[in-house]
Amino acid sequence: MQFAINSIFAIKLQQNTKTQLRMLQIRNLHASVQGKEILKGVNLTVNKGEIHAIMGPNGSGKSTLSAVLAGRDVFEVSEGEILFNGKDILPLPAHERACEGIFLAFQYPVEIPGVSMTNFMKAAIDAKYAYRGEEAPSASEFLKKMKAMRSMLGLPEKLNNRSVNEGFSGGEKKKNDIFQMAMLEPQLAILDETDSGLDIDALRIVADGVNQLKHADNAYIVITHYQRLLDYIVPNFVHILYDGRIIKTGDKSLALELEEKGYDWLIQ
């Protein structure tokens, strides 16, 4: 008898930890832009601590999926749901989703002439703390962290006073997005082709940064075309997105298989 009760208790405990681990649940997500359906029923579950890679040919909807998760309002969600930590985030505007802990590293980071990195980052940090009803770090704490994260990513010292991404090289822009991620410490970070346009040294620096920031409570969705990024940032799952749907899911070996065979064998 004693034994049986114990095992029931053990099963319950396991279920609890499993729901606690669940961070993102995307169910049957359909999204369109200008009347054209791009996402056609995406299902994806991401648990705390996991790294998911999403691969797929150009135009299959990878950036659309990222933008819909981050809340870009030009995309219209016609069906399905997105739960983040159990909360339906579809009604939330983009800035509130960011404050909830979702971060998107852009495929094409945007230049903002005249807005300095310091003012930009300060506004973002202040917004995050205000949203949580917490007091924002002091100016000196903030600047100290700026400095630490900047040097982790090998960004130039004069970064603070430069306008956001203005005149940055392609690689610097990508690094700058990871720098912002490091500053904001999101729970879920979506990296949309962060490796594109990075030379091998920059790729290593970025990947090292991403790995350093990884811990048991956060998760990454890494969108990439290349195995070389996944050599550094090793995924738990690899998904293939094609024509608005995830058509295959596997472990890290799937990426190697794709490198060898391309997508054709999957898209019959």
Partner 1 sequence: MTTINSKQVQGSQLVFENATFAAQKSLVENHIEISVSEGVTIISVSAHTKAHIHILHNFHGTLPHTQIEIRIQSGAHALIIETYAVTEKLPKANITTNIAVGNGAHCEFISLQHLSEGAQFAQTISVQQSENSHYTAHVYQICGSILHSKLGVEKIGTQANTAIYGLSYPHRKEQFEFDTTVKHSCPDCETAENFKIIAADHSVGIFGGMIYVAPHAVKTAAQQSNKNILLSPNARIFSKPQLEIYTDDVTCNHGSTTGQLNNDALWYMQARGIAPETAKQLLIQAFVHEITEKLPTQELRDFVAAKVQ
Q: Can residue 115 be called a binding residue for partner 1 (CB under 8 A)?
A: yes
Q: Which long-range contacts (CB under 8 A, 24 or more apart) does 67-73 make?
A: 67/104, 68/29, 68/31, 68/39, 69/24, 69/26, 69/97, 69/102, 69/104, 69/190, 70/94, 70/97, 70/98, 70/102, 70/103, 70/104, 70/190, 71/95, 71/96, 71/97, 71/98, 71/102
When CB distances are held under 5 to 8 angstroms depending on the partner's kind, the choice from Mg ion, ligand ADP, partner 1, none that residue 68 binds is: none
How many angstroms separate the CA atoms of 186 and 75, rounded?
Answer: 23
When CB distances are held under 5 to 8 angstroms depending on the partner's kind, the choice from Mg ion, partner 1, ligand ADP, none that residue 246 binds is: none
When CB distances are held under 5 to 8 angstroms depending on the partner's kind, the choice from ligand ADP, partner 1, Mg ion, none that residue 176 binds is: none
CB of 94 or CB of 152, closer to Mg ion: 94
Among residue numbers 148 through 167, which ones bind partner 1 (CB under 8 A)? Answer: 163-164
CB of 56 or CB of 235, closer to ligand ADP: 56
**Which residue type occupies 30?**
H
With CB under 5 A as the rule, give the number of residues binding Mg ion.
3
Q: Can residue 60 be called a binding residue for Mg ion (CB under 5 A)?
A: no
**Residue of the chain from 60, 63, 165, 176 that contacts Mg ion (CB under 5 A):** 63
Q: Can residue 101 be called a binding residue for ligand ADP (CB under 6 A)?
A: no
Contacts of 203 (CB under 8 A, 6+ apart): 195, 228, 229, 232
**Residue of the chain from 24, 31, 63, 210 that contacts ligand ADP (CB under 6 A):** 63
CB of 86 or CB of 93, closer to partner 1: 93
Among residue numbers 179 through 238, which ones bind ligand ADP (CB under 6 A)? Answer: none
**Residue of the chain from 11, 13, 123, 267 that contacts partner 1 (CB under 8 A):** 123
Q: Can residue 165 be called a binding residue for ligand ADP (CB under 6 A)?
A: no
When CB distances are held under 5 to 8 angstroms depending on the partner's kind, the choice from Mg ion, partner 1, ligand ADP, none that residue 232 binds is: none
CB of 84 or CB of 103, closer to partner 1: 103
Q: Which positions lie near partner 1, rule CB under 8 A?
A: 70-72, 93-95, 98-99, 103-104, 106, 109-115, 119-120, 123-124, 127-128, 131, 163-164, 180, 184
